[in-house]
Amino acid sequence: MLRWTITFVIIAIIAAVLGFGGIAGAASGIAKILFFIFIVLFVLSLLKGLVKK
C-alpha cells in the first residue's frame, strides 16, 4: 500500500510541474488517503503483534 502512495505522490508532482492542477490535486488527495490507511494498518499490526506475545 505504501508503494501506491509513493506512486500517486510522484504522479501529483509530475502533474503539478506540467501544469495539470486538477490531476495533481486528485493524485495528492488519493496519496493522502492511502497514506493514512497505511498508517492505521501499520499501527494495528504493531498492536496485534504486541498483544499476541
Q: Which residues lie below 8 Å from residue 24, measured CB to CB, with a gap of 6+?
A: 12, 13, 15, 16
Across 3-26, average pLDDT: 84
SS3 20: coil
Q: Whole-structure pTM over 0.85, yes or no?
A: no
Q: How far is CA 12 from CA 25, 35, 43, 53, in A?
A: 7, 14, 26, 41
Q: For the chain, which residues make up each domain, given as ranges?
A: 1-52
What's the mean per-residue pLDDT of the chain? 85
pLDDT of 53 reads 66
| Interatomic CA distance for residues 48 and 16, integer angstroms | 39
